[in-house]
Amino acid sequence: MTGRDPRRLHPQARAALEAQVRAPLTRDNLAAVRASIRSAVDAEVGPGPQLASVTEVDAGGVPAVLYRPPVLCRPADGTPTLVYAHGGGWVMGSPATHDGLCRHLARASGWSVLSVRYRLAPETPFPGAADDVERATVWAQRTTDQGQRTGGRVAVAGDSAGAHLAAVVARRARDAGRPLAAQVLICPVLDPAMAYPPLDGYGLHRDEMRFFWDAYAPAPLDRTRPDLDPFRADLTALPPAVVITAELDILRDEGERYAAALLAAGVPVTATRYLGVTHDFVRKLAIFDAAHSAVAQIAAALKLLS
């Protein structure tokens, strides 16, 4: 099935799909595709709330944007940091396309948000993006806030392909003996086998995912290594996870399977499927009421760690 059943769609999702303008996803057309996601930011995401500061930083040699919440929103003993990896199939997106989401996360949680400008594929394939997010995370763990250390309260998050990077970096941090406080995976890409349910008619299509995987991890690269297939990693002792999936998303099942695998490995997991919505709805705060509910859910989970 590649069609669309309007009875399954929330009215906001239906309107978003009807208004969506998609440029053909090919290497020759990649510049136009990247421009199209940038041009849709105002309509899909919106501006986000005002914060104490939003600054460009050098995060251990990786460019990033640091969002600092208002003073009244911060914990009294120093501000923890959420390292954020944007989505976009590893090939597009930037801190600018996720600015509104990062602002909302900082305001709602009281955490600083470090949005990483990682290198994109196919110009920089695997492991470039994962290495960049890892370096920025190490920087966050070593950085002080107003003279107070974060006390290890650094978490990692991402949406779509950015959630894949977040999962990989959470495991790398554990293996390096510098464990993170939490991992937040929004509509995550996780399984290079690409065994998708028949939901191609609701936005993200399996042909697009094939393009993304081929750009980030081109043949003959072994996609069974844990840095590409997190299901093949040892999942024990990973940080608590929040996994958010969308009912009408071809990535839904692999996100929920990963949540179940984490739980089976003894990792505390909160997994939520939002009904009637499509891939990466959480970023589209100007369209989906459910996006604000998901931000509130993530913020509540982070506040428990503050």
| Whole-number pLDDT of residue 72 | 78
Nearest to 121 by CA among 242, 229, 15, 216: 216
Condensed to tens digits (0 to 9), the pLDDT of residues 152-202 reads: 599 999 999 999 999 999 999 999 999 999 999 999 999 999 999 999 999
Question: Which value, in Å, is the radius of gyration of the alpha carbons in the chain?
Answer: 18
| Dihedrals phi, psi of 47, to nearest 5 degrees | -80, -30
**What is the C-alpha separation between 266 and 72, in angstroms, rounded?**
35
Banded pLDDT at 2 (limits 50, 70, 90): low
What's the pLDDT at 103?
Answer: 98
CA distance 306 to 292: 21
Q: What is the pLDDT of residues 84-100, one digit of tens each?
A: 999 999 999 999 999 99
Residues forming the active site: 160, 249, 279
- Spatial contact of 136 and 82, defined as CB atoms under 8 Å apart: no
pLDDT band at 19 (very low <50, low <70, confident <90, very high): low
Query: What's the N-to-C CA distance of the chain in angstroms?
Result: 45
Amino acid 9: pLDDT: 87
Q: In this model, does residue 23 exceed pLDDT 80?
A: no
Q: Which residue has the tokens 């609701």?
A: 202
**Considering the chain, what is the average pLDDT of its residues?**
93
pLDDT bracket for residue 151 (50, 70, 90): very low
For residue 148, what pLDDT is reported?
A: 44
On whether the CB atoms of residues 99 and 46 are closer than 8 A, the answer is no
The pair of three-digit structure tokens given for residue 263, joined into one six-digit string: 């739980």
Q: What is the DSSP letter of 277?
A: E
SS3 131: helix
**pLDDT at position 74, please?**
79
Is residue 260 a contact partner of residue 243, using CB atoms and an 8 Å limit?
no
Using alpha carbons, list the distances in angstroms from residue 40 to 22, 27, 90, 111, 189: 10, 20, 18, 27, 22
Give the DSSP letter of residue 49: -
How far is it, in rounded angstroms, from Cα 130 to Cα 186? 17
DSSP, res 88: S
> Which of these ranges, 48-62, 70-84, 102-116, has the smallest mean pLDDT?
70-84
